[in-house]
Amino acid sequence: MKKADTKFDLRACLFESQDLKYRDFQAGLVPNIDKDTMIGVRVPVLRKIAKDLHRSGGADAFVSRLPHTYYEENMIHAQIISMNRDFDGTVRAVDTFLPYVDNWAVCDTFSPKVFTTDIPRLKAEVRRWTSSGHPYTVRFGLGMLMKYCLDDRFESEDLDLAASVASDDYYVRMMAAWYFATALAKQYESVVPYLENGRIEEWTHNKTIRKAIESYRISEERKQFLRTLKR
């Protein structure tokens, strides 16, 4: 990719990789954004472009140009943030970018691994993100809790944090259900009381059970029990 640090050349590179059939497919998966803002570039290609842009030294200039025009530019921005190796700098970059995120796909595509270097600090940021009034900031916070805090870093109070998220937004509720369903697969005994005692909002409660029943990581015996908890 030549002169990838300029917005013009980056867009030229994106349009060179355009796949209109893929654009139509992707537009169906992300129906809440204008199809005209989608070029139609597959994710592996976007990852390569993001890496090339990062190596070229043009990433800083690119991420400073907000808002972006195209969905793919936002995807590249998110992937560049994920390459950051400085915890504080990554938090600042996330905070700058999240207000411009307007769909689940961009929201879910970035998960900076640098956050695993200090889980207590990450959880403090998750509490801040999930208290936001912006739905994709909330979704991002829940996503970080799910991706990085359900294995050896799990603490029971994480469930309280997720259960306390109050939102009528479909994409926030879906992430909450995804979180609890994944938690059932990994921390079953800790999560079941939240379902038994009605500690999760009803829609999310039922969606959690549905997702858990569809999971291959949960035994049939446990799935049978979970079905009895549907509200």
Grouped pLDDT means (10 residues each) for the chain, 231 residues: 52 94 96 95 95 88 94 97 96 98 97 96 97 97 97 95 95 98 97 96 97 96 97 93
Query: Which pTM does this prediction carry?
Result: 0.93
Domain limits at 138?
Answer: 126-231
Q: How far apart are CA 183 and CA 166, in angstroms?
A: 19
Total domains present in the chain: 2
User: 210 is written with which tokens?
Assistant: 């549905």
77 and 39 share one domain:
yes
Q: How far apart are CA 177 and CA 107, in angstroms?
A: 16
Residue type, 99: P
43 and 145 share one domain:
no
The last residue of a domain, from among 100, 117, 134: 117
Residue type, 13: C
101 and 46 share one domain:
yes
Q: How far apart are CA 84 and CA 64, in angstroms?
A: 15
The last residue of a domain, from among 95, 117, 139: 117
Tokens 């993001």 belong to which residue? Answer: 50
22 and 131 share one domain:
no
56 and 147 share one domain:
no
Q: How far apart are CA 197 and CA 181, in angstroms?
A: 16
210 and 112 share one domain:
no
Give the pLDDT score at 54. 87
228 and 141 share one domain:
yes
Q: How far apart are CA 224 and CA 202, in angstroms?
A: 19
User: 49 is written with which tokens?
Assistant: 């472009």
